[in-house]
Structure 1
Amino acid sequence: MSVRPGAEPYSHDGTGDHARTGIVLAHGFTGSPASMRPWGQFLAEAGYTVRVPRLPGHGTTWQEMNRTRWQDWYAAVDSAFRELHEQCDQVFVAGLSMGGALATRLAQEHGPRVRGLMLVNPAYKVDDIRLRALPVLQTVLPSLPGIGNDIKKAGEDEVCYDRIPLKALFSQTRLWATVVRDLPEVTQPVVLWHSVEDHIVPTSSSELFLSRVSSTDVTENVLHDSYHVATLDHDAPRIFEESVQFIERLS
C-alpha cells in the first residue's frame, strides 16, 4: 500500500563527535513521521544519528490502521531502538502523544540501555466518557471523525487521518493500561514538555506520568504557545533546542 507524501520514515546517520549518540522519535496515533521530521532533522543537523519510523498502519489509510494493534506499533520503535543500540554508544528515545507512551514502554523494557526519555504531550489516558463504550463500540462501528492536526500555528500538517479507527483506538487503551501499570519501572532521566492548551490529551496525563515514575532527574517544561502537536507548533524551536541541551548534559 502506498504511503502518503510526507508520511515517509526519516533516517540519518550522524557525523562527527555526536555520531555515536542515537535518538529514536515516535509519532502519535493516526499521525505520521511528518510530526517528528523537523525535530529529527534538527538533531541530524547537530550531528546525531536519528530514526523516525513510520508506525504500521499509519500514513496510508485508516482502514489499514484498523488492522494493526499496539504491539505492531511498539515493534517498529523497538526495532529502531535495537538497531541504534548496536550502532551507537548511547540511545535516547522521544515521543509525541501515543509516541510518548511507546517511548515510555521502551524505557520500561530496555532499562539503562535507554539513556534518556524525551516526551511531548504524552498520552497515557484521555478523559472522554465515550471510551467506556469502546469495547463494544469497536465491534460494530469501524471509525469516528478524526482528531488530528491540533496545531495553533497556521499552515502546518502532521499528515494524519480524518477518521479514528476504533479497533486501533481500543488497542491504544490497552497500551495505556500496560504502560501506566509499569510507570514505577521508569528510572531514566526525563524531560517532558506539555501544552497549557491541548485539545487531545489532558494535562492529567502528564501529571499521571510524573507522579508514578521512579526517575530522580526529571525536567518539566510548560508550553504556552502550542496545542497538542507541539513539535510542529510555535514552541517547536524551543523543544528542539532544549532536547539538545538535555542530550548534551547527559552525554
Structure 2
Amino acid sequence: MSISPIAEPFYADARPIGPDGRRIGVLLSHGFTGCPASMVPWGRHLAGLGYAVAVPRLPGHGTSWQELNKCRWADWYGEIQRAFDKLTANCDQVVVGGLSMGGGLALRLAADRGRDVAGIVLVNPAVHTERKDVLALPVLQHVIPSLPGIANDIKKPGVEEHGYDRTPLKAARSMLAGWKQVRADLPKVTSPLLMFRSAEDHVVDPSSGQIILTSVSSRDLTERILEDSFHVATLDNDAPMIFEESAEFVRRVTGP
C-alpha cells in the first residue's frame, strides 16, 4: 500500500542542551484517521530548539481508510512503543504528546512506563465519548464498513489535515476498546501533564478532558483552554501558543 508523501513520519536528532550536554526527546502522536502532517509543524518547532523529535505514522494511516480498517489499537500502540524506545535509547529524558487518539496513546504509554516518561502534553485528547451512536458499533461494523469522516475540524481557513474522508468502523470499535483500558489505568499516570483543550471541538466532547483531569495521579497538572481553534488545534489559530507553551513545559520538566 503506497503512503501519501504528506503522511511521511518526521524524525529529528537531538542537540546537546545545557552545560551538562543533556539530550531530550519528544514523541508526538497524531490522531485516528489523521496522519503525521497534523503534528509535523509542532515537531519542527521543537526540533529547532534542539530536541530530538519523533512523529511516527500510525499503522493504516496515510494510505486508505480500507487499510486502516485492518488495523487495531495494539498496532497503533506498538508503533508508539517502538518510537519511544528509540528515543529513550538516545536521550536522557523523553516527553510524550498526542492529538486526539494520539493523546490516549500517550497516556497509555505514561501508565505503562511510569518514570521513564518525563512529561505528557495532550491536545484535545480522546479517551471517551458521550455519543450514543457508538453503542451500535459492535453490530454496525459487520453491516457497513465505514461512516462519514471526522477530519478537518479546523477553524482557520484554508488549512488541510490530510485525514480520511471516511471513518472505518472495525478500527473505530478497536479504538473504543483501547480507550476503556486507558481510562482504567489513568490513576497510574504520575508524570507532569499539560493539556490543551479547545473550547469548541466538533470531534471530541469535554468528557475526555474531565475524566483525565480527575483520574490521573499527576501532581503537576495544567489545563489550557484554546479559544480560537477547533479539534485539530495543532494546525489551527492557537498552534503558536501550543508550540511555545509546550516547549517551555518540556524545558521545565526535563531541567537538571
TM-score above 0.5: yes
1:133 aligns with 136
Q: In the TM superposition, what is the alpha-carbon distance from 1:5 to its structure 2 partner?
A: 2.5
**One-letter code aligned to 1:15:** R
Asked if 1:152 is matched to 2:158, the reply is no
Tell me what 2:31 maps to: 28
Whole-Å Cα distance in 1 between the matches of residues 56 and 249 of structure 2?
22
Q: How far apart are 1:128 and its partner, in Å?
A: 1.2
CA offset at residue 139 of structure 1?
Answer: 1.3
Q: How far did residue 158 of structure 1 move?
A: 1.5
1:21-61 deviation digits (Å, cap 9, x = unpaired)? 00000000000000000000000011100000000000000
Match of 2:228 in 1: 225
Residue 79 of structure 1 corresponds to which residue in structure 2? 82
User: How many residues align structurally?
Assistant: 251
State the match for 2:17 in structure 1: 17
- 2:243 corresponding residue in structure 1: 240
Matched, 1:101 2:109: no
Q: Distance in 1 between matches of 2:160 and 2:63?
A: 15
- 1:112 maps onto 2:133 in alignment: no
Give the secondary-structure state (helix, strand or coil) at the position aligned to 2:17: helix
1: CA distance between counterparts of 2:190 and 2:24? 20
Amino acid of the residue matched to residue 52 of structure 2? T
Runs of 4+ in 1 over 6 A off after TM superposition: none
Provide the rounded CA distance (Å) in 1 between the counterparts of 2:190 and 2:17. Answer: 27
Q: Distance in 1 between matches of 2:175 and 2:70?
A: 13
- Where does residue 191 of structure 2 map in the other structure? 188
Instruction: Show CA shifts across 1:174-217 (max 9, x none).
Output: 11101001010000000000000000001121011001111100
In 2, the alpha carbon distance for the partners of 1:190 and 1:16 equals 24
1:70 is matched by which residue type in structure 2? Answer: W
Whole-Å Cα distance in 2 between the matches of residues 103 and 243 of structure 1? 15
CA–CA distance in structure 2, aligned partners of residues 161 and 197 of structure 1: 21
Aligned AA (2:178): L
Q: Distance in 1 between matches of 2:208 and 2:226?
A: 15
1:203 aligns with 2:206: yes
Report the equivalent of 1:170. Answer: 173
The amino acid that maps onto 2:105 is: L
Please list every run of 5 or more consecutive structure 2 residues that lacks an aligned counterpart in the other structure: none
1:16 is displaced (CA, Å) by 3.5
Q: Provide the C-alpha distance between the structure 1 equivalents of 2:17 and 2:218, rounded to a whole number of angstroms.
A: 28
1:68 aligns with 2:77: no
**Take 1:114 and 1:233, find their aligned partners in 2: how far apart are those partners?**
27
Aligned residue number for residue 40 of structure 1 = 43
Give the letter for the 2:100 counterpart. S
Task: Assess if the C-alpha contact under 8 Å between 1:126 and 1:200 holds in 2.
Answer: no
Q: Gapped runs of 5+ residues in structure 1?
A: none
Q: Whole-Å Cα distance in 2 between the matches of residues 209 and 100 of structure 1? A: 10
